[in-house]
Amino acid sequence: YLLEDELRDAVLLVFANKQDLPNAMAVSELTDKLGLQSLRSRTWYVQATCATQGTGLYEGLDWLSNELSKH
């Protein structure tokens, strides 16, 4: 769906949540599983987060805000 022409200018932010858990999938593994490397014509970012501790949330939203301000 991300390769649809209607989404050509869309940016993608993925929150890799629960990074405080020992079995949490690493950002690199999540990137591979989602096939994000193949989205060469899209702007995307994966932010490691732990919602219960509040880590990574603002960083991800800052990235999104910066990307949206470019368009």
Q: Which domain holds residue 35?
A: 5-69
- Alpha-carbon gap, residue 32 to 53, rounded angstroms: 26
- Alpha-carbon gap, residue 35 to 64, rounded angstroms: 20
- Feature table: binding site for GTP: 17-20
Whole-model pTM? 0.87
- Feature table: binding site: 17-20
Total domains, the chain? 1
Closest Cα partner for 36 from 71, 69, 3?
A: 3
pLDDT in tens, 15-67: 999 999 999 999 999 999 999 999 888 899 999 999 999 999 999 999 999 99
Q: What is the pLDDT of residue 1?
A: 66
14 pLDDT higher than 70 = yes
The CATH number covering residue 61 comes to: 3.40.50.300
